[in-house]
Chains A and B, each alone.
Chain A
């Protein structure tokens, strides 16, 4: 069954949405959309460095995404305006990544695969990485769920209850870097944030608790992957952008659904 490239693509996409559903919900609740963007854009630099040093792309991307996320969190903590900090770092990481990539002849040809993803070329090894990474993120979020949620509602409420909101922020930062590392192959650096935010925003329309929104976001995300792949196959369109376009259609449909009352 895993011999079929389309099956592998579908499984990889669905596996990824296990993590992007709940994590994307936190990104939406905590208004971290741009933060996700910055981390994802840094991944291109990670790809270029991985090729330069001859290490695994997953390791390189994870390291750079993590460094990026921590830098942003630190600078923001020092009182720099968050959107300016992110604006500087997100675009400069992308620019440096593209410059670094141009030094490697093989990568230059293949750059669009890293920017927009290449889900149809997912190997068995990639599949294992995606599912492994996604399950780690889910485990991390489930483990810290109550604390994460309390700190998302209000930092002081969490502190007064003896929790440390910095730890919760760190957990989200690590989860984000992990998701970026495993998602870059599937939707590419430019569209990872879309896969985090759009399904979560769609799920918000018809849910009443944080948990149902997180699960709903995964379901919408998985549906987007399958619809996008189907469309890509039929219309011969690029798979990554097709998945994001499908999730946008689902979001538009969710706006038409009646919101739960009260």
Chain B
């Protein structure tokens, strides 16, 4: 059953096309990772899916009564605003103490109720955001670069947490990442976006390969995987006369075997 789907979605910012012809769907319990370089329209896609941004062309369809748990890209709580973790969990809907305690425990940040939000570490902050999102009993979790600012073991731990939550509750997970090659290994699908869908596929779990060990060390427990881009087109029309393909748009090309075989 499709929770959110788009057909031929296009979005414009001030007359400039940011997204075009995006066909997207995510089903119950599915984990989908969207990757793409900076400015590729990832956040715009998320915003359009949530309904924060109107579609210029095409359609966005959300299942009726869909509950979305949203974890934003950057959340800055102004130092002038006193806010305990407990109080934050009750925004915008008040939740019981028991539910709040359980949500924090589930996300591995138990006992932080009385702590000020501004005093949390990056990892704790993201887990509290996730706990808040889970309290709405969402059908789908939408995370916009939620692992920004976490180190690699922190990212891996966060991915494992999401995987467990999916296992327990059957929640679908849509995650956006600016890391083009290293994705959550539990992703059922990876979508590479660059104004349009460049390619889709499954992540390449290579935990046995020595390159993987070299990249991720041993502490990440298989939560990370590589995604191999297979683009069936290049971007001559986007990038001027040199006719170079996607390498240009993927500056973070990892120093691994997972390069860019262009068909």
- Tell whether, in the assembled complex, residue A161 and residue B136 are in contact, meaning their CB atoms are under 8 Å apart: yes
> What distance in Å separates the Cβ of B72 from its nearest Cβ neighbour in chain A?
5
Q: Is A240 an interface residue (CB 8 A)?
A: no
Which of A147, A157, A160 has the most chain B CB atoms closer than 10 A to its own CB? A160
Flag B157-200 by CB within 8 Å of A: 1 or 0 each: 00000000000000000000000000000000000000000000
Flag B83-121 by CB within 8 Å of A: 1 or 0 each: 110011011111000000000000000000011100100
Report the bound CA distance from A213 to B81 in whole Å. Answer: 9
Report the bound CA distance from A82 to B217 in whole Å. Answer: 48
- Tell whether, in the assembled complex, residue A158 and residue B75 are in contact, meaning their CB atoms are under 8 Å apart: no
Q: Is B242 an interface residue (CB 8 A)?
A: no
Residues on A with beta carbons closer than 8 Å to the beta carbon of B70: 156-157, 160-161
Interface bin, chain B: 20 to 34
> How many of A's residues come within 8 Å of B, CB to CB?
26
The majority secondary structure among interface residues of chain A is: helix
Report the nearest A residue to B72, measured CB to CB. Answer: A156
Residues on A with beta carbons closer than 8 Å to the beta carbon of B116: 208, 262
- Tell whether, in the assembled complex, residue A149 and residue B91 are in contact, meaning their CB atoms are under 8 Å apart: yes
Report the nearest A residue to B51, measured CB to CB. Answer: A159
Residues on A with beta carbons closer than 8 Å to the beta carbon of B142: 160
Q: Is B82 an interface residue (CB 8 A)?
A: yes
Residues on B with beta carbons closer than 8 Å to the beta carbon of A201: 80
Flag A182-218 by CB within 8 Å of B: 1 or 0 each: 0000000000000000000100100111101100000
- Tell whether, in the assembled complex, residue A210 and residue B83 are in contact, meaning their CB atoms are under 8 Å apart: yes
- Tell whether, in the assembled complex, residue B115 and residue A262 are in contact, meaning their CB atoms are under 8 Å apart: yes
Report the bound CA distance from A90 to B94 in whole Å. Answer: 39
Report the nearest B residue to A149, measured CB to CB. Answer: B91
Q: Is B52 an interface residue (CB 8 A)?
A: yes
Report the nearest B residue to A147, measured CB to CB. Answer: B92
Q: Is A254 an interface residue (CB 8 A)?
A: no
Report the bound CA distance from A86 to B63 in whole Å. Answer: 43
Report the bound CA distance from A29 to B76 in whole Å. Answer: 12
Residues on B with beta carbons closer than 8 Å to the beta carbon of A262: 114-116, 119
- Tell whether, in the assembled complex, residue A159 and residue B52 are in contact, meaning their CB atoms are under 8 Å apart: yes
> What distance in Å separates the Cβ of A200 from its nearest Cβ neighbour in chain B?
8
Report the nearest B residue to A262, measured CB to CB. Answer: B115
Contact A209/B83 with A156-B52, A160-B68 known, Cβ cut-off 8 Å: yes
Report the bound CA distance from A146 to B72 in whole Å. Answer: 19
- Tell whether, in the assembled complex, residue B82 and residue A146 are in contact, meaning their CB atoms are under 8 Å apart: no
Q: Is B78 an interface residue (CB 8 A)?
A: yes
Residues on B with beta carbons closer than 8 Å to the beta carbon of A207: 82
Q: Is A28 an interface residue (CB 8 A)?
A: yes
Residues on A with beta carbons closer than 8 Å to the beta carbon of B230: none
- Tell whether, in the assembled complex, residue B84 and residue A208 are in contact, meaning their CB atoms are under 8 Å apart: yes
A-B contact pairs, 29 of them (CB 8 A): A28-B80, A29-B78, A29-B80, A31-B80, A146-B93, A146-B94, A149-B92, A154-B72, A156-B72, A158-B92, A160-B68, A160-B70, A160-B142, A161-B70, A161-B92, A161-B93, A161-B136, A163-B92, A204-B80, A207-B82, A208-B114, A208-B116, A209-B83, A209-B84, A210-B82, A210-B87, A212-B82, A262-B114, A262-B119
The 9 closest A-B pairs by CB, nearest first: A160-B70, A150-B92, A29-B81, A150-B91, A161-B92, A209-B87, A28-B80, A146-B92, A159-B52
